[in-house]
Structure 1
Amino acid sequence: MGRSYTPEYKAYVVKLILEEGRKATEVSRDLEIPYGTLNKWVDHERKKRAGIWEEEDIPLTPSEYKKRLAAIEKELQNSREENEILKKAMHIFTKNRE
């Protein structure tokens, strides 16, 4: 299992790269943090500062999850209904050509 790092330590390491301009490869080597892990921290902080959040980055409460799931299911049902209508229309239009 990998090492775990405190949020304070992560913030310190990210600050070294973003605010002090140190190279990620150098910090990774000096602090013995995997380069990929370090890049994830830096990328997450850049998105946070820019106000860009990916949906999977935001933890959901159970009620939010249920609401999102219901919305997705409703959208899927609407897409299925539209697909059926298009199939019927296609059948009608191809039938009239013959």
Structure 2
Amino acid sequence: MSKKNNGKRYNDDFRKMIVDLYHSGSSVKDLSSEYGISEVSIYAWIKKFSPIELEDGSSVTPDDYAKLQKQLLRIQEENEILKKAMAIFARK
């Protein structure tokens, strides 16, 4: 038996365009019927691509924030490894 994927795939540019249309005043229901996308998908894209305003006036999307969190964790792990290596080399 082969597994058939009937789901549509949209690239990030298309998703961002839909979110921009939503922010410019189009309703989710109108966008859903016009582009043939489920309302649930559009709401998920709005959540993912809508910018969050920061205290310093800049903005970041939740997707960018998640990427920054992941990068911070990786750098913290690298820092711990380097501290341990320094301790080993300092003993010699």
Q: TM-score, normalised by structure 2?
A: 0.53
Distance apart, 1:65 and its partner CA:
8.8
Q: What CA RMSD, in Å, does the superposition of the two structures yield over aligned residues?
A: 3.1
Matched, 1:45 2:49: yes
Q: 2:67 aligns with which of 42, 58, 63?
A: 58
Equivalent residue runs for 1:11-50 within 5 Å: 11-19=16-24, 21-46=25-50, 48-50=51-53
Amino acid in structure 2 at the alignment position of 1:6: N
Where structure 2 has 5 or more consecutive residues not aligned to the other structure, the ranges are 54-59, 81-92
Question: How many pairs were matched up?
Answer: 65
Higher strand share: 2
Max Rg structure: 1
Equivalent residue runs for 1:47-86 within 5 Å: 48-50=51-53, 51=60, 53=62, 57-58=66-67, 60=70, 64=74, 67=77
* Runs (4+) off by over 6 Å: none
Aligned mates of 2:62, 2:19 — CA distance in 1? 17
Higher helix share: 1
Aligned mates of 2:39, 2:33 — CA distance in 1? 8
User: What is the percent sequence identity of the aligned residues?
Assistant: 12
Distance apart, 1:18 and its partner CA:
0.5
Amino acid in structure 1 at the alignment position of 2:74: E
Q: TM-score, normalised by structure 1?
A: 0.50
Aligned mates of 2:35, 2:61 — CA distance in 1? 28
Where structure 1 has 5 or more consecutive residues not aligned to the other structure, the ranges are 71-98
